[in-house]
Amino acid sequence: MDELREDCGVFGIWNNADAARLTYLGLYALQHRGQESAGIAISDGSKLYSYKQMGYVNDVFNEHILSMLHGKYAIGHVRYSTYGASELRNAQPFAVEYKNGSLAIAHNGNIVNYEGIRSRLEGEGSIFQSTMDTEVIVHLIAKSDGPSTHERLAYALNELRGAYSLVVLTENELIAARDPNGFRPLVIGELNGSMVFASETCALDLIGARYVRDVLAGEMIVVTNNGMRSYLFSHRIQRASQCIFEHIYFARPDSLIFGKSVYSIRRALGKALGAESSVQADMVIPVPDSGVPAAVGFSQQTGIPFQMALIRNHYVGRTFIQPRQSIRDFNVKVKLNPIAEVIAGKRIIIIDDSIVRGTTSRTLVKMLRDSGAKEVHMRISSPPINYSCYYGIDTPTRAELISSSHTVQEIRDFIGADSLEYLSIDALRGVVGEDADNFCYACFTGNYPEPFELTKRDHQLILFDEGRLNVRP
């Protein structure tokens, strides 16, 4: 996988005396979803406190900072920017005080009609503190005259289009909500009577919480000291459009995403790939870490031995000093290193989850050949990425996606492999099974489930009518 990133991870917990530390641990488990900034907002029942900084979770928080975050109700956020610059003012949770009290919000996803809403709000006198799309939600809440926070939030969410899985904290309530398409994941857990929300179940596992279920597409859950209530805030729900790349690449393999085991799905993708495009070889090797389960499946399907011949350096930070020209392809080499004695003289099948620009794949193939590989066959456990994503993935523009303008043979020539094959879209849908129609495949097919208009930032400028809030029976 080269240069494709998800944007955020969110966490929330209600009614736990150790809320700050548990939120820290939850964010630590979700660190793979965002490495630019981390933050926690917490309530003691009468006042909100928050702390956020740029950097990894364990760099931002320490015992002294956590000891100052008093309260039993908390939300947290880790960020990778897809909208808004990588700077402190865009870090989350985004906390404000307004006419109805204090509020903090943590958001995962991408609002595709953000620019139109922001332009309208600025024309009406709103003053923005950041450049991220999440802030429009806060302004819409503040402009609503609804009698409760969740009704004001419902008003705001019914103006939005695109992807949002979010948690909202006030002095005395925690709200979780997921967009009507259900693009990004959001799960519910329980820990000794405390309600927990997280982007992935791996965060629940770390703190010992029990997975209950997913937040449904178009569902809003409100937790107070009087209990938990579930609402359906939108009439737009027709069919879910869950991001298939959560299973292919983004989520941790030990998570349940959309109710399914990520590891099992990735291994099944590898088996399907082996059934479609095997070739005679001496070994199957993965591009770690996301390619490992698919390579296991490919090996099981074909009977070709599995080897870990590429070793990943897990201690590469956000920034490091790079040589100017002394070491070519440094960005890849600092993360992955081949074991030459395993590779030399062998015919190798290398398994990766996707090819974006092709530059990383090209470097990997060259590294294997320089280590003595006799043949290098590349197999990809997803279809070609032909289109950009507008729902919370940091994909390049379509012109930068190598599959959008090159044939498989041309890509094979570019990366220097002896052969190249991708998983077919039909095989991908077959692995997902009976839920296949509930996933978004727009990056492969160009069939976008949520319409948009391209602007200079490739985002939607369409405004929609307000919806209504309904209590779920």
Do residues 216 and 296 share a domain?
no
CATH number, residue 136: 3.60.20.10
Do residues 56 and 110 share a domain?
yes
Report the range of poorest mean pLDDT among 34-48, 158-172, 237-251, 275-289.
237-251
Give domain status of residue 35, yes or no.
Answer: yes
Give domain status of residue 261, yes or no.
Answer: no
* Alpha-carbon 419 to chain mean position: 31
Report how far residue 365's alpha carbon sits from residue 363's, in angstroms, rounded to the nearest whole number: 6
Do residues 150 and 194 share a domain?
yes
Do residues 276 and 409 share a domain?
yes
Do residues 152 and 189 share a domain?
yes
Give domain status of residue 381, yes or no.
Answer: yes
Enter the tokens of residue 93. 């949770």
Do residues 220 and 289 share a domain?
no
> What are 197-215's pLDDT values in tens digits?
999 999 999 999 999 999 9
CA nearest neighbour of 353 among 412, 277, 269, 282: 269
Position with higher pLDDT, 437 vs 466: 437
Alpha helices by DSSP H, 13-113: 19-29, 57-60, 63-67
Contact of 145 with 220, CB cutoff 8 Å: no
Do residues 146 and 77 share a domain?
yes
Strand extents, DSSP E, 179-262: 187-191, 194-198, 210-214, 219-224, 227-232, 242-243, 256-257, 260-261
Query: Which residues make beta-bridge pairs with 37?
Result: 54, 79
Give domain status of residue 202, yes or no.
Answer: yes
Q: In whole angstroms, how far apart are CA 126 and each of 55, 112, 120, 143?
A: 30, 20, 9, 10
Does the structure show a pLDDT above 60 at 318?
no
Report how far residue 155's alpha carbon sits from residue 146's, in angstroms, rounded to the nearest whole number: 8
Q: pLDDT class for 458, splitting at 50, 70, 90?
A: very low
Structural element, H or E, at residue 95: strand 94-98
Report how far residue 85's alpha carbon sits from residue 339's, in angstroms, rounded to the nearest whole number: 38
Do residues 116 and 202 share a domain?
yes
Give domain status of residue 22, yes or no.
Answer: yes
Give domain status of residue 154, yes or no.
Answer: yes
Which domain range does residue 162 map to? 5-241+458-471
Do residues 197 and 272 share a domain?
no
Do residues 121 and 19 share a domain?
yes
Give domain status of residue 13, yes or no.
Answer: yes
In this prediction, residue 3 carries a pLDDT of 47
Number of domains in the chain: 2
Average pLDDT (98-124) is 94
Residues 6+ apart with CB under 8 A from 250: 6, 32, 33, 243, 393
In this prediction, residue 314 carries a pLDDT of 73
Share above pLDDT 70 across residues of the chain, in percent, rounded to a whole number: 88
Q: What is the largest CA-CA distance in the chain?
A: 72
Do residues 38 and 156 share a domain?
yes
In this prediction, residue 452 carries a pLDDT of 63
In the residue annotation, 8 being an active-site residue is answered as yes
CATH number, residue 380: 3.40.50.2020
Query: Which residues make beta-bridge pairs with 101?
Result: 98
Q: pLDDT class for 174, splitting at 50, 70, 90?
A: very high
Which member of 8, 202, 243, 389 is catalytic?
8
Give domain status of residue 447, yes or no.
Answer: no
Do residues 130 and 279 share a domain?
no
